[in-house]
């Protein structure tokens, strides 16, 4: 049920207003109906009961005057032109039972009893006027006019116990239909008059909100997009202004971070370079090589830290790249260093990404595989919607519970992947950040038969 409810602000307001209007109209309708019923009682039922009571009284009088000739009383009663009340021995309206109206019957009984007439069965039926009947020349024109206007006829049969049935047909106002149509039209007008402005105003509020949502969703600090124009009602405008200010604050904080990282990088790189120059005077060849390696590793870590920290605002633009050739180039670099890395270069696979960064991500994965597994099998699997790069090794793998944790910067697995063989665990964090930036995902899984598979999935 819940999911059928509209979720947007404007739809909810409109629905609420519509529901409120409907309830108000329903109450109006109830009150109106009650009023109509009272009016009907006064206009139709009261005269009808009066006539019936009057007729019953006359019949009683006539019977008293001619006690021994029952037929004579009836004839005299019927020949009286003052009334439309008829006398029957049996109920003539049995065929109309479908159209009986118990509420009208109740009203009639109440009216008759008020007039002192205790009737037996009372039957009242409503029958729409047949238009053909109105054309009948025998019909009194005044009555025809009334029937036409009222639209319906009430047929009443009242049993006088032991004397037969008194019947009466009288025009009946067909108000219910009119009332419903009237009310429906009224409601419609009300809806148009109220809901159209509500929707218009809602749209005016919702549009800037939507723009704001889009802007927030695509927000990239430092990409120099113009601030959003402040429009709409004042509170929405205040929200947009606050958002713009937030964006500026985030951008300036990141700028600050970049500047600081640049300074750190420079300040650390300089002593590293000084050290690198000075070790040339170390006599022992082995010692010197080891020192150089250490310095290189520190420098790489420094680069990783700087890249990771800067990744939110990559300076490299997206370009069209052959991803197959990209992976192949990385693999080839490892092969040139005599590492056992296999890769079957696939067909040309054009992708739009930041090549240097993606190269870095793939390189970090292969580097891990080579470091811990002694080699890597690399596969590139193009599919319709995505591209998967798999880097598999036959190393010790990673305990299940640590598979996610290794992506966090500076996470190291003390047992199997220790300081001797491992860096400081920035490689995976950087790879994940790069791949996420490209809209993809990266995951690790232990392989059957030992080893690890790192998978990069990129949308095409």
Partner 1 sequence: MSEVPHLLLVDDERSIREPLAQYLTKQGFRVTQAGDAESARARLNAYAIDLVVLDIMMPGEDGLSLCRHIRETSETPVILLTARSEETDRIVGLEMGADDYVVKPFSPRELSARIKVVLRRWSAGGAKQHAPETGSFAFAGWVLRTGERTLVDREGVSVPLSTGEYNLLHALVTRPRQVLTRDQLLDLTQGREAAAFDRAIDNQVSRLRKKIEPDAKNPSIIKTVWGGGYTLAAEVTRL
Give the footprint of partner 1 on this chain (CB under 8 A): 265-266, 269-278, 280-281, 292, 295-296, 299, 303, 306-307, 310, 315-316, 319-322, 325-326, 328-333, 335-338, 345, 350, 355-356, 359
Q: Which is nearer to partner 1, 59 or 357 (CB)?
A: 357
How many angstroms separate the CA atoms of 380 and 318, rounded? Answer: 20
Read off the DSSP letter of residue 42.
Answer: I
- Residue in the structure block whose two tokens are 């890249």: 307
Residue from 217, 277, 221 nearest 249 by CA: 221
| CB-count burial class (<10 Å; 0-12, 13-18, 19+) for 163 | middle
Q: Give the pair of three-digit tokens for residue 303.
A: 């680069």
What is the closest distance, in whole angstroms, from the C-beta atom of residue 443 to partner 1 in the complex? 24
Read off the DSSP letter of residue 45.
Answer: I
- Residue in the structure block whose two tokens are 């409109």: 14
What is the closest distance, in whole angstroms, from the C-beta atom of residue 247 to partner 1 in the complex? 25
Contact indicator for 127, 93 with CB cutoff of 8 Å? no
CB count within 10 Å of CB 105 equals 17
> H helices then E strands: how many in the chain?
12, 11
Q: Give the pair of three-digit tokens for residue 239.
A: 């929200």
Q: Which is nearer to partner 1, 141 or 271 (CB)?
A: 271
Q: Which is nearer to partner 1, 229 or 278 (CB)?
A: 278
What is the closest distance, in whole angstroms, from the C-beta atom of residue 299 to partner 1 in the complex? 5
Residue from 379, 367, 376 nearest 394 by CA: 376
Q: Give the pair of three-digit tokens for residue 316.
A: 């490299």
What is the closest distance, in whole angstroms, from the C-beta atom of residue 280 to partner 1 in the complex? 5
What is the closest distance, in whole angstroms, from the C-beta atom of residue 260 to partner 1 in the complex? 14
Contact indicator for 279, 292 with CB cutoff of 8 Å? yes
* Count of positions (residues) in the chain: 460
What is the closest distance, in whole angstroms, from the C-beta atom of residue 238 to partner 1 in the complex? 40
CA 52 vs CA 95, 170, 330: distances in Å: 21, 12, 109
Q: Which is nearer to partner 1, 36 or 257 (CB)?
A: 257
What is the closest distance, in whole angstroms, from the C-beta atom of residue 310 to partner 1 in the complex? 8
User: Phi first, then psi: what are they for 267, rounded to 5°?
Assistant: -65, -30
Q: Which is nearer to partner 1, 165 or 343 (CB)?
A: 343
Q: Which is nearer to partner 1, 32 or 291 (CB)?
A: 291
What is the closest distance, in whole angstroms, from the C-beta atom of residue 323 to partner 1 in the complex? 9
Q: Which is nearer to partner 1, 89 or 315 (CB)?
A: 315
What is the closest distance, in whole angstroms, from the C-beta atom of residue 373 to partner 1 in the complex? 21
Q: Which is nearer to partner 1, 160 or 458 (CB)?
A: 458
Residue from 169, 142, 179, 215 nearest 44 by CA: 169
Residue from 126, 122, 99 nearest 112 by CA: 122
Buried b / exposed e over 69-86, threshold 16 CB at 10 Å, is eeeebbebbeeeeeeebb
Contact indicator for 343, 327 with CB cutoff of 8 Å? yes
What is the closest distance, in whole angstroms, from the C-beta atom of residue 330 to partner 1 in the complex? 7
Q: Which is nearer to partner 1, 135 or 277 (CB)?
A: 277
Q: Which is nearer to partner 1, 179 or 295 (CB)?
A: 295
């Amino acid at each position: 049920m819940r999911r059928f409810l509209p979720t947007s602000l404007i739809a909810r307001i409109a629905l609420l207003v519509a529901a409120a209007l409907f309830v108000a109209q329903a109450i109006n309708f109830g009150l109106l109906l009650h009023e109509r019923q009272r009016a009907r009682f006064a206009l139709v039922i009261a005269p009808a009961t009066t006539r019936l009571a009057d007729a019953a009284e006359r019949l009683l009088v006539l019977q008293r005057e001619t006690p021994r000739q029952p037929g004579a009383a009836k004839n005299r009663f019927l020949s009286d032109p003052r009334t439309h009340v008829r006398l029957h021995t049996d109920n003539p309206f049995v065929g109309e039972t479908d159209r009986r109206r118990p509420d009208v019957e109740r009203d009639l009984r109440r009216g008759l009893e008020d007039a002192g007439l205790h009737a037996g069965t009372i039957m009242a039926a409503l029958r729409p006027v047949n238009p053909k009947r109105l054309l009948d020349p025998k019909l009194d024109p005044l009555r025809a006019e009334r029937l036409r206007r009222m639209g319906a006829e009430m047929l009443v049969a009242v049993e006088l116990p032991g004397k037969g049935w008194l019947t009466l047909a009288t025009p009946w106002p067909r108000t219910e239909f009119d009332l419903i149509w009237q009310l429906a039209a009224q409601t419609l007008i009300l809806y148009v008059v109220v809901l159209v402005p509500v929707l218009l105003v809602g749209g005016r509020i919702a549009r800037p909100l939507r723009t704001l949502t889009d802007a927030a969703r695509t927000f990239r600090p430092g990409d120099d997009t113009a601030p959003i124009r402040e429009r709409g009602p004042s509170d929405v405008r205040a929200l947009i202004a606050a958002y713009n200010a937030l964006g500026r604050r985030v951008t300036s904080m990141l700028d600050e971070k970049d500047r600081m990282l640049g300074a750190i990088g420079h300040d650390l790189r300089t002593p590293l370079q000084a050290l690198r120059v000075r070790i040339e005077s170390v006599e022992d060849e082995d010692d010197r090589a080891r020192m150089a390696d250490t310095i290189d590793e520190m420098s790489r870590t420094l680069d990783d830290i700087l890249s990771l920290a800067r990744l939110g605002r990559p300076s490299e633009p997206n370009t069209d790249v052959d991803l197959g050739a990209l992976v192949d180039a990385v693999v080839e670099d490892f092969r040139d260093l005599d590492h056992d890395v296999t890769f079957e270069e696939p067909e040309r696979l054009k992708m739009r990404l930041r090549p240097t960064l993606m190269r870095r991500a793939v390189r970090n994965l292969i580097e891990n595989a080579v470091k811990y597994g002694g080699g890597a099998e690399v596969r590139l699997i193009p599919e319709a919607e995505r591209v998967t790069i798999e880097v598999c090794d036959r190393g010790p793998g990673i305990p299940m519970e640590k598979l996610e944790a290794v992506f966090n910067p500076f996470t190291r697995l003390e047992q199997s992947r220790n300081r001797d063989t491992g860096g400081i665990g920035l490689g995976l964090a950087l790879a994940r950040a790069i791949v996420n930036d490209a809209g993809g995902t990266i995951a690790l899984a232990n392989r059957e038969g030992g080893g690890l598979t790192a998978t990069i999935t990129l949308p095409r």
